[in-house]
Structures are given as structure tokens and as C-alpha cells.
Amino acid sequence: MVLAWLCLTFGVAVGSAILPIISIELFVIGLVTQQPGISCWWIGFAVATGQVLGKLVYFLAARGSLHLPAFLRRKEKPEKPSSPFKLKWKARLEVVRDRCHRHPHWMFGTHAVSSVVGLPPFMFTTVLAGLAGMSTALFVATGATGRFARFTVLAASPALMAGWLH
């Protein structure tokens, strides 16, 4: 029965990584309150693996290594004069991309903090890591370590709180 719950947790984690409207945090809290016998370590492992696997799609797409299906790609529009707002946005994106290339340790640190804390949003740092050209191995290692820490602590938190209250 525990394996079934862990497989479901993995699936929800992948889904929440791809569709950010699904809250894996709420799922984990609900799971540990309903199934207290499942180890927080295994839950952290299942969520970290699922989250990183799901985010790998965004990372590889941002890096240009994964070509999305036609219905997910932007439609090429005929060239027309860009608005000043669009030009400023593109210029800002290029500045950020250039800084990430010049200072790769910043991207590593930002992605590591984001994977644990969630600020800046993990989705944002995932795409930015892909645009910056972070290595896949570093992306996976950083994201998996941070996500494991985050969700292991989250899974242990109801038991810790119950211990404090008694």
C-alpha cells in the first residue's frame, strides 16, 4: 500500500511540475495527515524525483535541446514594428541572459535557493537556468537536492508540530 501512495505522490509531483496550478505542497500535507506511516524520507524522495523530472521539460525547452510539439510553440507572426514595451522586455531578457552567462555561479546559487525556499519561483529559475545554459547534471543535482530537503521537511512538519503541542 505504501508503494502505491509513493507512486501516486510521484505522479502528482510530475503533474505539479508541468502544470503549476496543482499544489504538491497541499498534496504532501494531506498525504502525511492521512497516511502517517509513510516515511518523510520516501515522500521527499518521490516528490523531488517527480518535480525535477517534470521541470526538466521546461529546462530543456528553454535551453533549446527539446523541441516542443507545434501546438505548444509560439506562432511566427509577420514582422511588424514592435512596441517600445516589447523592445524593452526583449532587451531586459538579453541583459539577464548575458549576466547569467558571465556569472554562472549566480545561476547555481539562485536555483539552489529557489529549489529549497521557492523564492524566486522554482519555475522561473528552471527556465532561466535553461536560457543561461546551465549544465543538465548541475540542474538535476541542484534541483533534486533542494526539492528533497524542502519536501522531506514539509512531510515531517505535521509530526513535529504534533510533538510540540503535546
| Residue-level pLDDT at 56 | 95
Predicted model pTM: 0.82
DSSP code at position 133 = T
DSSP code at position 38 = S
End-to-end CA distance of the chain: 29
d(CA 97, CA 158): 40
DSSP code at position 77 = P
pLDDT(81) > 70: no
Measured CA to CA in angstroms, residue 3 lies from 9, 26, 46 at distances of 10, 20, 10
The per-residue pLDDT of the chain, averaged, comes to 85
| Residue-level pLDDT at 77 | 62
pLDDT band at 79 (very low <50, low <70, confident <90, very high): low
The fraction of the chain above a pLDDT of 70, given in percent, is 81
Task: Compute CA 160 distance to the chain's CA centroid, rounded to the nearest angstrom.
Answer: 26
**More confidently predicted of 163 and 159:** 159
If you average pLDDT over residues 55-64, what whole number do you get? 91
pLDDT(136) > 70: yes
Q: What is the pLDDT of residues 1-29, one digit of tens each?
A: 889 999 999 999 999 999 989 899 999 99
| Residue-level pLDDT at 144 | 96
Which helix (H) or strand (E) element contains residue 135? Answer: none
d(CA 34, CA 36): 6
* Helix, strand, coil % in the chain, rounded to nearest 5: 80, 0, 20
Set of cell numbers at residue 92: 531586459
pLDDT band at 88 (very low <50, low <70, confident <90, very high): confident
Going by C-alpha positions, the residue among 36, 56, 33 that lies closest to residue 147 is 56
